Chain A
Amino acid sequence: MAKRIDVSDLNVYYSAFKAVEGVTMTVEPRSVTAFIGPSGCGKSTFLRTLNRMHEVIPGGRVEGKVMLDDQDLYDSGVDPVAVRRTVGMVFQRPNPFPTMSIYDNVAAGLKLNGVKGKKRLDEVVEKSLQGANLWNEVKDRLSKPGAGLSGGQQQRLCIARAIAVEPQVLLMDEPCSALDPISTLAIEDLIGELKSKYTIVIVTHNMQQAARVSDRTAFFNLAATGKPGKLIEIDDTQRIFNNPGVKATEDYISGRFG
């Protein structure tokens, strides 16, 4: 069920401001692709074009093509709501629905999809929480508010919520940046397990994390503030970290940036 993403010549705008320019890349199915690059270079902006969340922002628009297998996400006949059910997303800050219980948080997406019947919901909720390595910690308090969990647990809850609807692709924007090292490791392990089923794209500022979890790494950069961010190169993670093709990549990774 994992799908390949093919982006060609993508420009991303906030009203008149071009935030990202000319991105062309392929994201392989059943693999983890990491986006790295300095702050403000457009990693999140670009990531959000992959499930059409970018256009939620007033003035947000996109030029170019994003193919999910052989479907162009930005084709005029494509419903953004359907795209987001296929391409799930986990945000930088854990954002469980605060008025919902743990159970309802995980079941929320299913209910949107019209899944009914307690038995079926129970099954999927358990499977998703297990998939997110959270089941053992919360199985006795499923009816408690999701906001009562620790930050790391909340983030895994959000992952469970995202995988409950069985998306083809999972996008993660700095999913560990608000977490302690132990929770971070738990999520990295989880990413390692999830990649057997999903296409995963993760934005991170943590070089070690990119090196640990990803198969491919994309380096973004921007010439100067106010200029659009660009994809500098994308390659096997091994190569990017040991023997990158572009000098700027090496400078960034080794901390000689700017």
Chain B
Amino acid sequence: MSSVTGVSLADETPGPHGSAPLSGDGAGTGRLGDRLFGGAAKGAGIFVIALVTLVGVFLLWQAIPAIANDKASFLTSREWSVNDSNNLRFGIVELLWTTVTASAIAMLIAVPVGVAVALFITQYAPTWLSRPAASLIDLLAAVPSIVFGIWGLRTFGPVFEPVQNFLRDHLGWIPLFSDANISGGSTILFVGIVLAIMVLPIVTALSREVFAQTPITHREGALALGATKWEMIRISVLPFGKPGVISAAMLGLGRALGETIAVTIILSTLPDGAKWTFSLLNGGETFASRIANNAAEFDTPQKAGAFIAAGLVLFILTFVVNAIARIVIDRRKAFSE
């Protein structure tokens, strides 16, 4: 920490979405080094944009013929029979429901817990504890998803079973918790919880980063007004960190929406023609797990096209989530500089 009186480094540090220069300035001199580096940066930028565009084009190109041949309604049908290429019938509504609810459960758990852990590490924990705690959480991010899948299936699932039974027995009258005859360790609810554990390190690490950057002047401004520590956090740290937390949540959500292997391992698939229910205690398939479960069957372009169409929707979903996050963050900008 620098002097309490003079200008501290923290004063100058721009917020995560503050005044950091995101666009080029006029400082280039036209010298060789400038041109080389400028060219390389521009090339990398164009490369990334081109890559995303190509992925989108590929998905559209593969998906459109299949969607055009779809005899059922692509957006609202629950059917999925793609074996007879003269009578393709498939729709995504069930995949969408499962994907979105499992991810929503994950976010509902991971964001508050992640923010709380980040606050603890940056504001409350003594130094000897905060460093190891932070590293430990970062380590969690490095655990491969297959490990989470197996651990969830074999170890955590049985432990969770009684909790699930309790919900079913006592809250069963709420449609979300009605009985669907699926064992505890392989329901949407359970997958949501495992996903929460998987995205927790992302949310925590990024939130920790922004909270730690709260300028000392903001924090002291609150304390000098007679704020308690928690009030100081509410007045200074949380508002300062909010855009960062939103970004963190969106990154986590992106991971949860697209997570494949852990979901595929854990979630019970439903038999054809199973009854529709809103229950979180049901099984099902997400976009990603439906594709993974059937990867062996992409033998005709028609069939593959149906799955790629599902992938396209996931792609768009992630895109929309990120766009919304950007808008939310930009709207707050006027108040954060």
Interface pair B226/A97, CB less than 8 Å apart: no
Ranked 8 nearest A-B pairs via Cβ: A85-B226, A44-B5, A99-B239, A89-B224, A95-B217, A84-B226, A95-B221, A109-B225
List of B residues within 8 angstroms of A88 by Cβ: 224-225
Whether a CB of chain B sits under 8 angstroms from the CB of A217 is: no
Q: Can you list 6 A-B contacts (CB < 8 A)?
A: A44-B5, A99-B242, A99-B336, A145-B334, A158-B221, A173-B5
Chain B residues with a Cβ under 8 A of chain A: 1, 3-7, 11, 215, 217-218, 220-228, 231, 235-236, 239-240, 242, 332, 334-337
CB-CB under 8 A from A96, the residues of chain B are 221
Interface residues of A (CB under 8 A from B): 43-45, 48, 51, 53-54, 56-58, 81-82, 84-85, 88-89, 91-93, 95-100, 108-109, 112-113, 145, 147-148, 158, 161-162, 165, 173-174
Q: Return A157 CB to nearest CB of chain B, in Å.
A: 11
Q: Is B218's CB under 8 angstroms from A98's CB?
A: yes
A109 to B224, CA, bound (A): 9
Which one of B4, B11, B225, B240 contacts A98 once the chains associate, using CB atoms below 8 Å?
B240
B contact residues around A89 at 8 Å (CB): 224
How many Å lie between the Cα of A99 and that of B332 in the bound state? 8
A165 to B137, CA, bound (A): 41
Contact of B4 among A44, A84, A97, A113 (CB under 8 A): A44
**Residues of A close to B235: CB separation below 8 A:** 97, 108
CB distance from B337 to the nearest CB of A (A): 6
**The residue from B1, B221, B239 contacting A91, defined by CB atoms under 8 A apart:** B221
Q: Which residue of A lies closest to B337 (CB)?
A: A147
- Bound-state Cα–Cα, A84 to B223, Å: 8
Nearest residue (CB) in A for B231 is: A112
Expressed in whole angstroms, the minimum distance between the Cβ of B231 and any Cβ of chain A is: 6
**Closest partner residue, chain A, to B228 (CB atom):** A81
A91 & B226 in contact (Cβ 8 Å cutoff): no
Taking A108-B225, A165-B225, A173-B5 as contacts, is the C-beta distance between A97 and B239 under 8 angstroms? yes
Is B224 a contact partner of A51 (Cβ separation < 8 A)?
yes
Q: Could you say which residues of chain B place their CB within 8 Å of the CB of A92?
A: 5-6
B221 to chain A, nearest CB (A): 4
Q: Smallest Cβ distance from B298 to chain A, in angstroms?
A: 50
Minimum distance in angstroms from B276 CB to a CB of chain A: 44
CB distance from A88 to the nearest CB of B (A): 7
Cβ-defined contact, B4 with A57, below 8 A? yes
| Given known A48-B4, A93-B7, A98-B336, contact A112–B217 (CB-CB < 8 A) | no
Whether B5 pairs with A174 at a CB distance below 8 angstroms is yes
Please determine whether B218 and A97 come into contact, CB atoms closer than 8 angstroms: yes
CB <8 Å contact, B225 and A95: no
For the complex with contacts A84-B223, A95-B215, A108-B225, 13 further pairs of A-B residues with Cβ separation under 8 Å are A53-B220, A56-B220, A57-B4, A58-B1, A81-B226, A82-B226, A92-B5, A95-B220, A95-B221, A97-B235, A112-B226, A161-B225, A174-B5
- Residues on B with beta carbons closer than 8 Å to the beta carbon of A161: 225
Closest chain-B Cβ to A40's Cβ sits at a distance in Å of 9
The answer to whether A145 and B220 touch (CB under 8 A), given A84-B226, A109-B225, A165-B226, is: no
For residue B16, give the distance in angstroms from its CB to the closest CB of chain A.
13
**Interface pair B222/A97, CB less than 8 Å apart:** yes
A56-B220 Cα distance, complex, nearest whole Å: 8
Closest to B236 in A: A97
What residue in chain B is nearest A85 (Cβ atoms)?
Answer: B226
**Contact assessment for B218 and A93 in the assembled complex, using a CB-CB cutoff below 8 Å:** no
* A91 in contact with B240 given A81-B226, A81-B227, A145-B335 (CB within 8 Å): no
CB-CB < 8 A to A98: which residues of B?
218, 239-240, 335-337
Measured between alpha carbons, how far is A111 from B334 in the docked complex, in Å? 23
